[in-house]
Amino acid sequence: MYLLVALFFTFSEAAFAQDKVDLEMVHKIKNEGIGNSQIQDLSFHLTDYLGPRLSGSSNLKNAREWTAEKFKEWGLSNVRIDSYGDFGRGWDVKKSYIAMKDPYYAQVIGYPKAWTDGTDGLVESEVTLLEITSEEDFDKYRGKLKGKVVITPANLNSDPAFEAEASRLTDEQLEARKTVSIGGGGGRYTPEMLAQLRAQRALDQKLTQFLLEEGVALRLTGTRGNFGTVFHTRAGSFSTDKLPTVPEMEIASEHHGRIYRLLKNGYPVKIEAEIQVEWLDDDYKGYNVLAEIPGTDKNLKPELVLLGGHLDSWHAGTGGNDNAAGVVVMMEAIRILKALDYQPKRTIRIALWGEEEQGLFGSRGYVQKYVADRNSKEKKAEWDKISAYYNLDNGSGKIRGIYLEGNDMLVPIFEKWFEPFHTMGAKTITTRNTGSTDHVAFDAVGVPGFQFIQDPIDYGRGYHTNMDVYERMQFPDMTQAAVIIASMVYHTAERAEKLPRKAWK
C-alpha cells in the first residue's frame, strides 16, 4: 500500500507539473478561514434560526431566501433561487402533542411522520395492538377500529452502548479505505428473501389501506434510536395525487416498548394526541439556491467549478449534521474565496440543493435541466463545462480525504492538492465510491462529482432525528473542511485543463 502511494507521487511530479500547489493562496485561505471564521454564526442561523427545513416546507423556503440574501451580502454574482422542476406538496406541522392517559399520565416523545395528515382535533382513545402477519389476521380487527389509536409491534434494540458513540477515523481505518474490492462481495438477497420482502411490503400496503377504511384515528410507530432520540421517515407521499392516510406518529422506542408491553400483557392503554398540519398547495416546484464568483479568464470563464450541499433536512430536529453542516462549510468556503478578492479563471458556483432527503431532487433536477439527461444520454449546455462538483454531506466531522468514484486519473492530482492539509489530518485519496448524496447526480452523467471522507463523530447517533441540531455540529472540524474545500475549488478553478473524466457509461 505504501509502495503504491510512492509510485503515484513519482508519477505525479513528472506528469502533472501543472498541479503544483499554490502555497501562498493556501496560506491566505487558512488565514481567512481560521482567523475570520463565520462557521458558528452561519450554523446558528441555519439551524436555530431557520429551523427544520423539510422538503417543500415554509422553513425551507425561508432558508432559500435567507441564504440567497447572505450570498448577495457577500457580493456574490448571479444569486438566484432556481426552480429545477416539480417536487410536490409542502407540509408544515402546526401542533403536535401526545401523552399516555391510562394506566397513568405520562408524556410520550413523538413526532408526526412527515407528510402525514392531521388528526380530527384531540384524539382520546384506547390503543389497539395490531399483530398482523398474514392476510387472515385482518379479520380479527375488522369493524373494531373506528376512532381508535393503533400500534404495531417493532423489534427495537435497547442494548447499552459499550462502544463509544462518537469516533474519529484511525490511520488504519483510513488506510483500509483505500483498498478497492473487485467482484461481488456477497450479502445479496436470495430469491426466497426477495419473495419474503415483497410479501411483507404487500402486507404493509394492505395494512395502510385497511386502517384508512376502518377509520383509525391515529397510528403509532416505533423507531430506532433510544434515550429519547427518534429517527424520522415519511408517511405516504408528498405527490400532488396522494391519497389520504391515517394520521401517524413516530414515537421514542422506549415509549413504543412501554405501550406495546402493556397491551401484550392485557393492560389497557389510553392515549391523548393531536396533530395539526398545514398543506402548502400554492407551489409544487422545487428549488436550488445558486450563486457565483464569475470566471475572469477569456477562455476558461464559461467553465464551472461547483461546490454544494443540500439545504433541506428532516422535520423534527433542525438538520444540524444533515446537512446544515455541509451547507455552512460550502458557504464558508466560497465566502473565504470572495473575501480574498480572488478572481478565478473558471466560474465558481455554489449550489444549495433542495429536497435531497426525498431522493436527490435538487441535484438531479439541476443535472437534468443544465447538464445531461441520464436516460437518453442527451448532453446539455453545462455537460462539458463542469470541471468538478464538490459535495459535503456526511456530518460536521473534519475532512480526512476524498472518494474518487473510480477515477484513477485523479489520484496524483488530488494527492498533490491534499499535501498542505496532511497536518490537518486530511490525506487519504481513495478511488472508492461512496453513495447516498448529491455528487451521485453528477457522477451518473459522467461529470466528476465528489464527496469527502469525513470523521464520523456521532453522525450515526443523530442524523435524521429530532436531535440532529446545532449541538451536534463540530465547529473546528467545519473550519478545517471549509479551508480544504476552498483550496480544492481554487486549484480546480485555476488548473490549465478541466479535471480528467471517466467515460460516461
- Residues within the interface to a second copy (CB under 8 A): 44, 47-49, 51-52, 58-59, 92-97, 99, 103-107, 109, 111, 158, 160-168, 226-230, 252-254, 257-258, 261-262, 265, 267, 316, 318, 457-458, 461-462, 466-467, 469-472, 474
Is the CB of 103 or the CB of 359 nearer to a second copy? Answer: 103
What minimum distance in Å lies between the beta carbon of 136 and a second copy? 29
**Which of these, 328, 313, 345, lies nearest to 468 by C-alpha position?**
313
Rg over alpha carbons for the chain, rounded to the nearest Å, is 25
Q: Compare residues 91 and 414 and give the one whose CB is closer to a second copy.
A: 91
Strands (E), 108-226: 110-112, 123-129, 149-151, 218-222
Burial 439-467 (b: 16+ CB within 10 A, else e): bbbbbbbbbbbbbbbbbbbbbebbbbbbb
What is the closest distance, in whole angstroms, from the C-beta atom of residue 343 to a second copy in the complex? 34
Q: Among residues 288 and 474, whose Cβ is nearest to a second copy?
A: 474
> Minimum distance from CB of 323 to a second copy (Å)?
18
- Under 8 Å CB-to-CB from 436, ≥6 apart: which residues? none
Q: How far is the CB of 271 from a second copy (least distance, A)?
A: 13
Roughly how many angstroms between the first and final C-alpha of the chain, as a whole number? 29
CB closer to a second copy out of 160 and 183: 160
Q: Would you say 258 or 379 has its CB closer to a second copy?
A: 258
Least separation in angstroms between CB 265 and a second copy: 7
Using the minimum distance from each CB to a second copy, give the nearer residue, 99 or 212: 99
C-alpha cell at 105: 399520565
CB of 350 to a second copy, least distance (A): 24
Sign (positive or negative) of CA dihedral 267, 268, 270, 275: positive
- For the bound state, the minimum distance from the C-beta of residue 388 to a second copy, rounded and expressed in Å, comes to 31
Bridge partners (DSSP) of residue 352 are: 289, 309
Handedness of CA 505, 433, 401, 332 (dihedral sign): positive
Kindly give the pairing relationship between strand 399-403 and strand 347-353. unpaired
Query: Of the two residues 59 and 116, which places its CB atom closer to a second copy in the complex?
Result: 59
Are the C-beta atoms of residues 250 and 113 closer than 8 Å to each other? yes
Beta bridge partners of 292: 77, 349
CA distance 31 to 406: 33
Closest approach of a second copy to the CB of residue 28, in Å: 30
Q: What is the DSSP letter of 243?
A: P
Strands 110-112 and 123-129: unpaired
Our CB check for a second copy shows the closer of 54 and 291 to be: 54
Q: Which is nearer to a second copy, 232 or 495 (CB)?
A: 232
Output the smallest distance, CB 457 to a second copy, in A: 5
